[in-house]
């Protein structure tokens, strides 16, 4: 499992557990989480399939940029989500 996906899933599960939702609310939350998480895959795939050659060129350029800067992108994501998870946990720990 990708560490980023694990942290996001664990954070979503912990946030949902704190709220104590009904079964319907939990299912709706799960569906929204899956749909939002799938957009990053489904969006580019649909763009590739429907956008023609222009879309392929744009996606290739993005792929090259991400390959060159993947370390920086992951660092920013880990720092952001780390701060987010810590800031969400502080009220429970301090209060």
Question: Which of helix, strand or coil describes residue 89?
Answer: helix
pLDDT tens string 41-87: 999 999 999 999 999 999 999 999 999 999 999 999 999 989 988 99
- Higher-confidence residue of 34 and 76: namely 76
Give dist(CA 44, CA 23) in Å, integer. 33
Place of tokens 């799960």: 30
- The label of the residue with tokens 């499992």 reads 1
As a whole number of angstroms, the distance between CA 56 and CA 59 comes to 5
> DSSP strand E in 1-95: where?
none
- Write down the pLDDT at residue 19: 83
């Amino acid at each position: 499992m990708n560490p980023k996906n694990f942290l996001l899933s664990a954070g979503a599960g912990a946030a949902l557990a704190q709220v104590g939702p009904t079964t319907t609310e939990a299912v709706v939350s799960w569906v929204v989480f899956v749909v939002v998480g799938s957009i990053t895959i489904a969006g580019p795939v649909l763009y590739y399939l429907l956008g023609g050659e222009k879309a392929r060129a744009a996606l290739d350029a993005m792929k090259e940029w991400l390959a060159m800067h993947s370390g920086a992108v992951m660092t920013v994501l880990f720092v952001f989500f780390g701060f987010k998870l810590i800031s969400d946990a502080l009220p429970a720990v301090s209060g």
